[in-house]
Amino acid sequence: MTKKLEVCLSPALLGLYDVKDYVVVIIDIFRATSSICYGIDNGAEAIIPVAEVEECLAYKEFNPDYLLAAERNGEVVEGFDFGNSPFSYTTEKVSGKTVVLTTTNGTQALHLSRAAKKVAIGSFLNLTPLCNWLKSLNEDILLVCAGWKNNFNLEDTLFAGAVAEQLKDFDYKMDDPAIAANDLFQLGKNDIAQYLKKTSHSERLKKLGIEADIAFCLQTDITTAIPVLTDEKLVRLR
Amino acid sequence: MTKKLEVCLSPALLGLYDVKDYVVVIIDIFRATSSICYGIDNGAEAIIPVAEVEECLAYKEFNPDYLLAAERNGEVVEGFDFGNSPFSYTTEKVSGKTVVLTTTNGTQALHLSRAAKKVAIGSFLNLTPLCNWLKSLNEDILLVCAGWKNNFNLEDTLFAGAVAEQLKDFDYKMDDPAIAANDLFQLGKNDIAQYLKKTSHSERLKKLGIEADIAFCLQTDITTAIPVLTDEKLVRLR
C-alpha cells in the first residue's frame, strides 16, 4: 500500500500532523543532529538533548560521570566538557559515555515528536543507512526540520530532500513540502556547501567561526549508526 | 539602505514576524487572491473577505445590494450570487458592486496581517504592477502564503518566488524562505501549470473540476489593479 512521505518544514507546523501515525526523523544539520549521529556512531552510550544549560547541570548533579555539552555565543560554557562541534564527539571522548547536549531548535522538534511510532535522528552523515532503514519499515514517514528559530531553513530542508531522493522511487506519496524539498535538493546536490553559501544562516554560522564544522556536517555517509529515541534518550538502533 | 524581502510560508508561521514592520502581500493563488485581483480590476468597489458563509449572510442583511460569493464542495451555496471562480468576477457582474467572499486560507492570512504598514493582494494576474509598486515603496516586504490548511503549498510559494525574481536585483536582503521560493520559481517558471501538476493540491483541485480556473489563475499580468486593505475592505489602490 502506498505510504506517505511528508516534510514538516518547521517545528511550528508540527501541530498540523498527527505524529502518532508516523515514524519521525528529526533534522538539525548545523549542528545538533550531525553531532548526535557522529557521537552515537563513535560509541556514546546515550545522548540526552535538553533545551537549557541549567537542565544539563541538573543531570550532572545526579550522574557525575555524564559529559555536558553546551555553547553560548560560540564558546564552551564554563565548567562544561565541550561545545556543540561534531569534532567533540570523537570515539576518544564519548565512547561508553552519556552526553547531555543543549540544543534549542533540535530539542523542541524532538519534544513535540515524542508521541510518534518511532523517532530517529538524521543528518548527511548517516543519510543512506537511515534511508535503508526507513524503507524497511513500511510506515508513513514525517521528516521534521528543526529549522532556525522555529522558521524554515535551507540546510534542513535540503537534507529532507536528500531523503526524499532515496525514497521517491519506492511506494511513497509525497506532500508539497516533500516535493519542494526534493526539488531544492536537485538544485543543490552537486555542491551543497556552495548552494548553502547564499543563505543567511550560513553567514551567521561563518561569523561564529565554525566553517570547519559546516564542512564536516555536509559529509555524506561517513557513519552507519541510526540514533533513535528510547526513554527520553537517544541511543544506537540495534 | 538594504531592505528585507521575506516570505512567510504559512499563516501558522506569521507569529514569527512583527508584521507592523512590513508591507505585507497576501497570496492565495487557487483561487481567492486571483479572483480578488480580477474583481477589483473589473471595477468592483470593494471585496470583503470573510471566513464563514454565515458572516456573508450577516453582511447581506444590512446591505441588500452586496453580492455574496461562497462555495462548499465546489458548488455555489444556495441563495448566493456566485462561487469562488475568477470567471464570476467579470465587469458585467461586479462593476460598481461590493462582493463578500468566503475564503478560509486567505481570510486567516489577511486577519493576522492587519497590523502591517500596508496589506496588498497578489496573484500572477497582477504580478508586475504589484512588483513595481513594491519597489517604489522602499519598505521591508513580507510575502504571506495562505497555503493549504495552514501548511506550505507549492503554488503560493512559487508566486512568492516570482515576486522575489522581480525584486532581487534591487537592494533587498532575502531570507531562506525567499531564496527557496525563488529557486523553486526558477524550476517552474517556463511552464508553471506543468510544474504544479505533480502537487497533491493540483490533484485535489482537478477533482473539483476547476481546471479552467487553474489555467486562468496562472495567467501573468492580465490586470493592473493592486487591491489593498482599507477599513477591513479590499479596494483598488489609487
pLDDT tens digits, B150-168: 999 999 999 999 999 999 9
Q: Is the pLDDT of residue A202 over 70?
A: no
> In this predicted model, what pLDDT tens digit does every residue of B26-83 receive, in sequence order?
999 999 999 999 999 999 999 999 988 888 889 989 999 999 998 877 678 888 998 8
- How large is the average pLDDT for residues A205-211? 73
Residue B237 burial (10 A CB sphere; 0-12, 13-18, 19+): middle
Compute the nearest-CA separation of A121 from chain B (Å). 23
For position A199, what pLDDT does the model report?
Answer: 79
Question: Options 3.40.50.720, 3.90.1560.10, 3.40.50.970, 3.40.50.300; which CATH number does A3-230 get?
Answer: 3.90.1560.10
For position B193, what pLDDT does the model report?
Answer: 92
Q: Looking at this protein, which amino acid is placed at residue B87?
A: F
> In this predicted model, what pLDDT tens digit does every residue of B173-190 receive, in sequence order?
999 999 999 999 999 999
For position B67, what pLDDT does the model report?
Answer: 96
Provide the residue ranges of all domains of chain B, joining segments of one domain with +: 3-236
CB contact under 8 A, A148 and B176: yes
> In this predicted model, what pLDDT tens digit does every residue of A57-82 receive, in sequence order?
899 899 999 999 988 776 788 889 98
Out of A13, A198, A200, closest to residue B10 by CB? A13
Q: Is the pLDDT of residue A201 over 70?
A: no
Provide CATH code, domain B3-236: 3.90.1560.10
For residue B183, the chain A residues in CB contact (below 8 A) are 184, 187
d(CA A106, CA A123): 12
d(CA A59, CA A44): 16
First to last CA, chain A: 27
Q: What is the mean pLDDT of chain A?
A: 93
- How large is the average pLDDT for residues B227-235? 96
Residue A219 burial (10 A CB sphere; 0-12, 13-18, 19+): middle
- Using a CB–CB cut-off of 8 Å, the residues of A that contact B are 9-10, 12-13, 15-16, 148-154, 157, 173, 175-177, 179-180, 183-184, 186-187, 198-201
> In this predicted model, what pLDDT tens digit does every residue of A110-167 receive, in sequence order?
989 999 999 999 999 999 999 999 999 999 999 999 999 999 999 999 999 999 999 9
The H-assigned helical ranges of chain B are 32-41, 53-62, 91-94, 104-112, 127-137, 154-167, 176-188, 192-196, 200-207, 211-217
Q: What percent of chain A has pLDDT over 90?
A: 78
For position A170, what pLDDT does the model report?
Answer: 95
Band (pLDDT 50/70/90 cuts) for residue B200 is low
- In this predicted model, which residue has the larger pLDDT, A200 or B124? B124
Peptide bond into B31 cis (omega under 30): yes
Could you tell me the sign of the dihedral formed by the alpha carbons of B92, B95, B99, B103, in that order?
A: positive
Compute the nearest-CA separation of B157 from chain A (Å). 9
Q: DSSP character for B51?
A: S
- Using a CB–CB cut-off of 8 Å, the residues of B that contact A are 9-10, 12-13, 15-16, 148-154, 157, 173, 175-177, 179-180, 183-184, 186-187, 198-201
CB contact under 8 A, A149 and B16: yes
Query: Cell numbers at residue B73, please?
Result: 464542495
For position A200, what pLDDT does the model report?
Answer: 67
For position A158, what pLDDT does the model report?
Answer: 98
For position B108, what pLDDT does the model report?
Answer: 84
Query: Cell numbers at residue B150, please?
Result: 495552514
**Contacts across the A-B interface (CB distance below 8 Å):** 74
C-alpha to C-alpha distances, B219 to B123, B124, B127, nearest whole angstrom = 9, 6, 10
Q: Is the pLDDT of residue B198 over 70?
A: yes
- CA contacts within 13 A on the Cβ side of B143: 34
> In this predicted model, what pLDDT tens digit does every residue of A15-31 receive, in sequence order?
999 999 999 999 999 99
Query: Cell numbers at residue B110, please?
Result: 489577511
Pairing mode, strands A3-8 and A172-174: parallel
The complex scores an ipTM of: 0.95
